[in-house]
Amino acid sequence: MDANNENNRLIIEATNNLPFVDFNNNTGIVIIKGRSYSENAYTFYSRLNKWANDYLLSKPKSTHITLAFQYLNTSSGVQVFNFIRNMQQSKSYGDLLTVEWGYEEDDDDLLQLGQDFSTALQLPFEFKVVEFD
């Protein structure tokens, strides 16, 4: 179920294999949380990239991305990386971009993936242990 409030917010409810998304243009807060292992991750994340492109046209002053995954398959990982890289364009407008990477306490693989993304993008991430229901 999607909620699109006057084109200022995109909310996508989580499914068994797709994460919850809350993209708020007014606050500059983006949340992607849950499991992401869709057969066609490109389709799901291209929608988020389209939303991001429209958002970036507004030249936001600050953007905070919270990513917290219970599971992230390879194709989704590629799309998440591309999404963050796309959002880095906002830095060309002089704004502040922060990324928070959440992972379960014993999930060293997801922690390492976040660290790899941070290094590859040359963008410092804040790492936080999260719990999923």
What's the pLDDT tens digit per position in 16-48? 999 999 999 999 999 999 999 988 899 999 999
Q: Where are the beta strands (DSSP E) in 58-106?
A: 62-72, 96-103
Better-scored residue on pLDDT, 128 or 133: 128
Q: Where are the beta strands (DSSP E) in 41-92?
A: 62-72
What CATH number does the domain containing 116 carry?
3.30.750
User: Quick one: pLDDT at residue 92?
Assistant: 63
The parent domain of residue 33 ranges over 2-129
Number of domain units in the chain: 1
State yes or no: pLDDT of 5 exceeds 50. no
Residue 88: closest CA among 111, 63, 113: 63
Asked if 118 contacts 88 with a C-beta cutoff of 8 angstroms, the reply is: no
